[in-house]
Each structure stands twice: as C-alpha cells, then as structure tokens.
Amino acid sequence: MRSIKSHKGLAAIKGPPESLIIFSCGFDQGTVDETQNERNGIFTEHLLNHITMPDQDVETILQNVARDIKLKGFPLPWRASCLTEKVYLAAESLEGKSIYS
C-alpha cells in the first residue's frame, strides 16, 4: 500500500490589484499531492477538468473545482481575488468579453 503525501499550511499573501491568487488548500490545512492518475494533486486534477470549458469565467471555474473537491471530502482550495471584471480563459466568442494580456 502506497502512502499519501500531505503537506501542512499556507502562509498569508497579498496580491496586487486585478489579481487572483489560488492555493490548493487553506491556511493550516494539508493537501493531498497524489491522486489516482499519479500525475497531479487533487486541486490540479479537478482544475484540469474545468479550465477549458468555454464561456465560463475564472471565478465560476474555481467554484466548480471547489465543489468537486468538497464532494470528494478533501480540503477546499483557498483564493483571494481583486478582480473587478469577469475573466475568461476559454471562449466560444470574444464578443462582449474583457481581454487581458
């Protein structure tokens, strides 16, 4: 039987304006670094399932990731957002959407 690696803690961080910072776990929580696919941690595995969904803003994507992680019984990701507009990572159309570079 393989052991599961777990790490403890997250240091406080402040981001610049118009930024989004996300960590795979919250303060004083551990996270599981290995999953069934043996390539990604729990957060990355679920993020990869949602990140290419067209016309989903990044906050909605992260809410869906957190929901999936919660359903599996793992600690929730932590994020800090200073975004003032919706940000899209994949879109069917760019019409009416903010573009950042």
What integer pLDDT is reported at residue 90 of this predicted model?
82
What integer pLDDT is reported at residue 73 of this predicted model?
87
The one-letter amino acid code at 83 reads L
Burial 39-55 (b: 16+ CB within 10 A, else e): eebbbbbbbeebeeeee
Q: How far apart are CA 66 and CA 31, in angstroms?
A: 13
What integer pLDDT is reported at residue 92 of this predicted model?
75
Q: Which CATH number fits domain 6-81: 3.30.70.1470, 3.40.50.970, 3.40.50.620, 3.40.50.10470?
A: 3.30.70.1470
Q: How far apart are CA 73 and CA 58, in angstroms?
A: 23
Mean pLDDT by 10 residues, the chain (101 residues): 55 80 81 70 90 92 95 90 89 66 56
Q: How far apart are CA 18 and CA 25, in angstroms?
A: 22
What integer pLDDT is reported at residue 26 of this predicted model?
78
What integer pLDDT is reported at residue 98 of this predicted model?
62
What integer pLDDT is reported at residue 58 of this predicted model?
95
Domain range annotation of the chain = 6-81
What integer pLDDT is reported at residue 1 of this predicted model?
45
What integer pLDDT is reported at residue 74 of this predicted model?
87
